[in-house]
C-alpha cells in the first residue's frame, strides 16, 4: 500500500514538473512597420523636457479644477468603463479556471452499498445480504501535461486576461480625453453664444439708431433693411448656439454617467485653464506602450501559445484516475488495519487517424498571422494618430497669433467705419462689411483656441497618457 502511494505521488510530482514545458514557438516582438522617429511638432504645446505622456498623471496635465472634478465623476460612474472593468474580472476568473487545469482535482467520497443475493445466484447456495462501507480520496481524469497542451492553453488564457486589462486602460484613456473634449467644446460654444448675444445686442442698437435716422430722412431704406438683416442673423446664431450648448451638456452628462453639477460647467473658453504643455517623446517606440497596441501584442502572444496547444494535440495524451481509501463490511471496521483499498487507472490516448488535429494546427498558424497583421495595423494606426495630433499642433500657435492680429485690425476698421458713417462721410455698406468681418474673425479666434486645446488633449491620449 505504501509503495502504491509513493508511486502515485511520484507520478504527480513528475507531471507537475513537466507542466512548464510547451511546444509553443518562441515569441519575439515583431519590428514596428513605421518610421523610428515621429514628426516634429514644432509647437510650444510640446516639449522634449519632463516625463513622457504615459507617465504624466491626468491630474497634472489638466490644470482646470472643474474639469478634474468632472473626470473623477466620470471614472466613478461611466457605464462603459464599468463594463470594461467587469470584463477584466471575468477574464481573470477564466484564467484561473484554465490555470487550475494543471493541478489534479482531488475529491473525497463516502458510500454504503447494501446488496442482496438470492440463493440460486449465491456460490454457497444460500441467499445472502452484504454491506460495503467505503471512504476514498481520489483524482478523476487528470491529464498529465507531458507535451504542454494544458500549459499552452493556460498561457493563452493569461494573454487574453492581459489583453482585456489593456482594453480597460484604453477605455479609461478614451473616457478621460472624451470628458475633456466635451468640456472644452461646451466652453467654446458658451463663448460663441455670448458672442452671438452681444453681437445681437449691438446689431439691435445699430438698427434702432438707423431707424431713427431713417425717420428724419438721414438714412435710406436700404440701410434700414441691411441693418435688419444683421439683426436677424445674430438672432439666428444666438438660437443656434443655445441649442449647441444644450447638446454639449447632454453629451457631457452621458460620459459622466449622471447630470453634471451646474457649478462645474464652464462659462466660456476664456475662463478655462488650458492643458499644460506636453512633454513628448518623439521616438515612435513610445507608441508600443499604448494600451491598444499592447492589447494587440497580447493577442499575438496568445496566438503563439495556441500553436503550442495545437502541436501538443498531435502527441499522445495521458490521463490518470486514482483513488485511495478504506473499505469494510462493517462501519466500525472501516479504519481497521487491512481495510485499505486503492485504484490506479492510467489511460493513454494516441491520435492514429484524426485529420481534425492537423487542420486545427493549420488554423492556429493562420490565427498567428492574423494576430500579427492586427498588431502591425495597431502600430501603424497609433503612428498616424500621433502624427495627425502633432501636425494639428504644429502651426496652431502661428494661426492664433495671426487671428488675434486680424481681430484687432477688423475691430479698428469697424470703429472707423461706424464713425465715418455717423458723420455722413461713408455709407452703411462699409459698416456692414466691417461688422461681418469682425464677427467672423471673433468666431475664428474661438475656433482656433478650441482647436489648440483639443489637439493637446488628443496628443496626450494618443501617446498613452491619462491612466494614472
What is the rounded distance in angstroms from the CA atom of residue 18 to the CA atom of residue 276? 54
**pLDDT band at residue 182 under the 50/70/90 scheme:** very high
**When comparing pLDDT for 342 and 303, which is higher?**
303
Tell me phi and psi for residue 110, to 5 degrees.
-135, 135
Cell numbers given for 452: 489648440
State yes or no: pLDDT of 68 exceeds 50.
yes
| pLDDT of res. 340 | 81
What's the mean pLDDT in 194-204? 88
Helices (H) and strands (E) in the chain, counts: 10, 6
State yes or no: pLDDT of 281 exceeds 70.
no
What is the rounded distance in angstroms from the CA atom of residue 218 to the CA atom of residue 427? 11
What is the rounded distance in angstroms from the CA atom of residue 184 to the CA atom of residue 373? 36
| pLDDT of res. 425 | 75
What is the rounded distance in angstroms from the CA atom of residue 95 to the CA atom of residue 50? 38
CB of 317 closer than 8 Å to CB of 143 = yes
Q: What percent of the chain has pLDDT over 90?
A: 38
Task: Give the orientation angle of helix 65-77 with respect to helix 221-256, to 10 degrees.
Answer: 50
Pick the CATH number of 2-462 from 3.30.1370.60, 1.20.1250.20, 3.40.50.410, 1.20.1600.10: 1.20.1600.10
| pLDDT of res. 1 | 45
Q: What percent of the chain has pLDDT over 70?
A: 91
| pLDDT of res. 375 | 96
What's the mean pLDDT in 364-389? 94
Q: Half-sphere exposure (CA, 13 Å, Cβ side) for 185? A: 18
| pLDDT of res. 368 | 95
- Provide CB contacts within 8 A for 158, sequence distance 6+: 95, 99
**pLDDT band at residue 406 under the 50/70/90 scheme:** very high
**When comparing pLDDT for 461 and 345, which is higher?**
461
| pLDDT of res. 121 | 74
**When comparing pLDDT for 445 and 101, which is higher?**
445
* Lowest-confidence segment of 35-44, 180-189, 196-205, 312-321 by average pLDDT: 35-44
pTM (predicted TM-score): 0.82
pLDDT digits (tens, 9 = 90+) for 219-241: 778 878 888 888 888 899 999 99
pLDDT digits (tens, 9 = 90+) for 9-35: 555 555 555 555 678 899 999 998 998
- Mean of per-residue pLDDT scores for the chain: 84
Q: Which range, 112-121, 130-139, 406-415, has the best average confidence (pLDDT)?
A: 406-415
In order of 286, 290, 358, 396, the CA distances from 393 in angstroms are 19, 20, 53, 5
**pLDDT band at residue 295 under the 50/70/90 scheme:** very high
Amino acid at each position: 500500500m505504501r509503495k502504491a502511494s509513493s508511486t502515485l505521488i511520484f507520478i504527480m510530482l513528475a507531471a507537475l514538473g513537466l507542466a512548464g514545458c510547451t511546444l509553443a514557438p518562441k515569441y519575439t516582438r515583431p519590428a514596428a512597420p513605421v518610421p523610428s522617429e515621429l514628426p516634429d511638432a514644432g509647437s510650444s504645446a510640446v516639449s522634449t523636457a519632463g516625463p513622457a505622456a504615459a507617465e504624466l498623471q491626468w491630474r497634472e496635465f489638466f490644470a482646470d479644477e472643474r474639469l478634474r472634478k468632472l473626470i473623477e465623476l466620470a471614472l466613478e460612474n461611466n457605464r462603459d468603463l464599468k463594463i470594461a472593468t467587469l470584463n477584466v474580472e471575468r477574464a481573470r476568473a477564466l484564467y484561473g479556471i484554465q490555470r487550475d487545469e494543471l493541478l489534479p482535482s482531488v475529491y473525497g467520497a463516502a458510500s454504503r452499498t447494501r446488496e442482496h443475493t438470492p440463493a440460486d445466484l449465491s456460490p454457497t447456495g444460500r441467499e445472502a445480504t452484504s454491506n460495503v462501507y467505503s471512504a476514498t480520496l481520489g483524482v478523476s481524469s487528470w491529464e498529465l501535461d507531458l507535451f504542454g497542451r494544458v500549459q499552452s492553453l493556460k498561457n493563452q488564457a493569461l494573454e487574453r486576461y492581459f489583453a482585456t486589462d489593456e482594453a480597460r486602460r484604453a477605455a479609461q484613456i478614451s473616457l478621460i480625453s472624451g470628458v475633456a473634449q466635451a468640456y472644452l467644446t461646451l466652453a467654446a460654444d458658451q463663448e460663441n453664444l455670448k458672442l452671438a448675444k452681444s453681437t445681437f445686442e449691438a446689431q439691435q442698437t445699430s438698427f434702432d439708431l438707423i431707424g431713427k435716422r431713417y425717420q428724419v430722412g438721414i438714412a435710406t431704406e436700404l440701410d434700414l433693411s441691411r441693418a435688419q438683416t444683421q439683426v436677424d442673423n445674430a438672432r439666428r446664431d444666438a438660437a443656434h448656439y443655445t441649442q449647441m450648448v444644450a447638446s454639449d451638456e447632454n453629451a457631457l452628462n452621458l460620459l459622466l454617467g449622471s447630470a453634471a453639477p451646474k457649478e462645474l460647467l464652464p462659462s466660456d473658453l476664456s475662463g478655462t485653464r488650458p492643458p499644460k504643455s506636453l512633454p513628448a517623446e518623439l521616438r515612435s517606440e513610445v507608441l508600443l506602450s499604448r494600451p491598444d497596441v499592447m492589447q494587440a501584442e497580447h493577442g499575438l502572444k496568445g496566438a503563439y501559445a495556441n500553436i503550442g496547444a495545437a502541436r501538443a494535440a498531435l502527441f499522445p495524451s495521458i490521463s490518470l484516475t486514482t483513488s485511495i481509501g478504506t473499505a469494510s463490511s462493517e462501519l466500525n471496521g472501516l479504519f481497521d488495519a487491512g481495510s485499505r483499498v486503492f485504484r490506479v487507472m492510467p489511460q493513454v490516448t494516441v491520435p492514429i487517424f484524426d485529420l481534425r488535429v492537423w487542420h486545427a494546427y493549420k488554423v492556429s498558424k493562420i490565427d498567428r498571422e492574423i494576430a500579427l497583421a492586427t498588431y502591425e495595423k495597431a502600430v501603424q494606426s497609433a503612428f498616424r494618430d500621433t502624427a495627425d495630433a502633432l501636425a494639428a499642433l504644429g502651426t496652431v500657435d502661428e494661426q492664433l497669433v495671426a487671428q488675434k492680429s486680424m481681430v484687432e485690425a477688423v475691430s479698428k476698421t469697424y470703429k472707423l467705419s461706424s464713425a465715418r458713417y455717423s458723420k455722413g462721410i461713408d455709407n452703411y455698406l462699409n459698416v456692414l462689411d466691417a461688422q461681418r468681418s469682425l464677427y467672423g474673425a471673433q468666431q475664428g479666434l474661438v475656433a482656433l483656441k478650441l482647436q489648440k486645446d483639443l489637439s493637446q488633449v488628443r496628443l496626450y491620449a494618443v501617446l498613452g497618457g491619462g491612466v494614472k
